[in-house]
Homo-oligomer: A and B are copies of this chain.
Amino acid sequence: MESEIKLKPRKKPRQKRSKETVSAILEATAHILQEEGYDKTSTNRVAKRAGVSIGSLYQYFPNKEALFTALFEQHHVEMLALLQETMVEMRDAPLPEAVRAYVHAMIEAHTHNPKLHRALMEQVMHLGIDYIQKLNATVCLMVEAYLESRPEPILPKNLKMASFVLVSAVESVAHTGLLYSDESFAMEELLDELCDLILRYLLGEQYECPPGSHKELVEGKAS
């Protein structure tokens, strides 16, 4: 509770000048965080790099954590916008197309600024969990709503859970694939595979129509 209060920016910058200052501070925070890591990201350095005095920094951010929280907020807003846009566009599209668009958007989102994304996730995730969870929940709801509204019949009965599984899986694969993959497989392939994963999950035998890609079963060696 108290922390929530403490983490909110001290004041919303209403004038253009102030907005620029805040921008510069966040940009500096992001830069130092991704280049040097959390431990080296001191408020003094951030202020210096942002070209403002340390006093000014504390005028807009009540403490160090607020810097990262604000970064997460930005991230959250951008992600949400991107996914929302996609979902709206795909509202009436057939399921396979919608799924592909969704996965594509998710991958895009992770490609936007991978280094910062990674740094946030690896070093200060705990400061952004509220945003992350909120985002996750929102996306789940959006997916659930979509599934509910689509015309095709699907296999999973518990839509809430299905949404959760889908969103988590896609997010994770995109995340891991983009950040830690040894580049041994391309995005294109990953995209295809994720679509298969989801569509088979949702449609079962109904699926398997896309032009030939995986028509035949691969024989197991041991058979």
When the two chains form the complex, which single residue of B122, B171, B194, B197 contacts A125, counting CB atoms closer than 8 Å?
B122
Residue contact A153 to B223, C-beta cutoff 8 Å: yes
Residue contact A153 to B200, C-beta cutoff 8 Å: no
Q: Main SS of the interface on chain A?
A: helix
- Assign chain A's interface to a size class: 35 or more
Report if A201-B197 is in contact (Cβ < 8 Å); known contacts: A158-B189, A221-B149. yes
**A135 CB, min distance to chain B CBs, angstroms:** 11
B-contact 0/1 string along A134-171, CB 8 Å cutoff: 00100000000001111111111110111011001101
Report if A201-B201 is in contact (Cβ < 8 Å); known contacts: A153-B219, A153-B223, A171-B172. yes
Stretch at the interface among A7-15, A107-115, A206-214: A206-214
**A13 CB, min distance to chain B CBs, angstroms:** 18
Residue contact A37 to B126, C-beta cutoff 8 Å: yes
19 intermolecular pairs with C-beta atoms under 8 Å apart: A122-B125, A133-B180, A149-B221, A151-B220, A151-B222, A153-B217, A153-B218, A153-B220, A154-B218, A154-B220, A155-B218, A157-B218, A160-B184, A164-B181, A165-B197, A168-B173, A197-B201, A204-B205, A204-B208
